[in-house]
Structure 1
Amino acid sequence: MLFVPFITVADVNTPALIIESMQNVQGNSLSYVNWPDAFPAKPEVSFKIAHSGEYLYLNFFVEEAEIKGVVTEDNGPVWTDSCVEFFLSLGDSPYYYNAEFSCIGTALLAYRKGRAGAVHATPEVVGRIKRYPSLGTDVIEKQEGDFKWSLLVAIPVSAYWNSGLTTFKGAKARANFYKCGDDLSVPHYLSWNPILTEKPDFHAPQYFGELAFE
């Protein structure tokens, strides 16, 4: 089980204040390479997660040998870029929300039971998610090198529009965290909790791990 601590953030529009409030939050690794025969690549990826009741805060840290950030429209195919993802199922619901973010902060948010039948968030709802990419928001064409980047996001409870949730305090949930990049020269598929499907598939809520919000 992953504990999600409560923090106080003075101003959600100031990323330095969020980072300061998360300074003592435990880091977690995306250590599972679930399909090593076909996709053995393993960038170094970790994340921190916390909440303030109204907002859920996620800070991803990535070291990889190739980056790409060309999708600029929210709810576009961000998974084809250098991408980090957070899938969350609240309470006992069979549904989950998939939040996906490219290295330049472009976002996708949808509500679904599985790979098919997604209901995407409206532009207004996705726009409520605050994103602070260390690389900025300009397009980054695919390039190889030695890259270190981070992405801080603040997701308001209202972004989980079908949940009826009004605060993250005391919430019980199941989730998984991912890193991918389908159109990179060397694609990779990392996760926080292991996935036992035959082929790469992050839309596998049966393999979510438990989250407990303070």
Structure 2
Amino acid sequence: MRKNLLAICLVLGLRGVAHAQGSDVSLGLKAGASLTDLVGADATTYGKLFGFHGGLFANIGITNVVAFQPELLYSQKGTKQPRNSNNPMDYAIDRFHYLDVPLAFHVNANGLFFEAGPQVGILLAAKSKIGSTSSDVKYQYNDLDVGYLAGIGYQRKAGLGIGLRYNGGFTNVRKEIDLGPVVVQPRSRNEAFQLYLTYSLNGR
């Protein structure tokens, strides 16, 4: 399932490149910091966590104003989960590692862009850390994360750029919990604010 979905995303990206023959196409690198959390009805006690994201993108001009930008990113997400309400320094850090495939559509105005689109993430690893002790908790979380993105930035076909993006999740991150006669679905979704730099090359 995960491999099929990733293949579909990559095929869509390649089709975009094929249809962009004769249009402006550039490749690039991006990296930056993330401020992440879990949101939802069952995520009220969680706290924000800093992380990193980075990877590759292709910016494909469809018209003079609209561009399609598929990306392949490594993204750290997660949250701080308090363990003692009387001690704000007593918390567990739940860190998630994703391979994200954003499919962003840009509306450009002389380098300034607004973007929006869908995103699919594949969970690579999940760790819970309390003090100096870390444990593998990937089995508690869903392998697939489906969401959306929206953002703003400045990016040319060649050279440096900067952007600010919001990622929101449609799907719950935790798996269902079987309690015998009752199956409980924890309602918590990923969210991330991403501030990043880009470097575009091979523009034409």
Q: Please report the TM-score for the alignment, with normalisation by the length of structure 2.
A: 0.31
Q: Normalised by the size of structure 1, how large is the TM-score?
A: 0.30
Bigger relative contact order (CA 8 A; separation at least 6): 1
Structure that is richer in strand per residue: 2
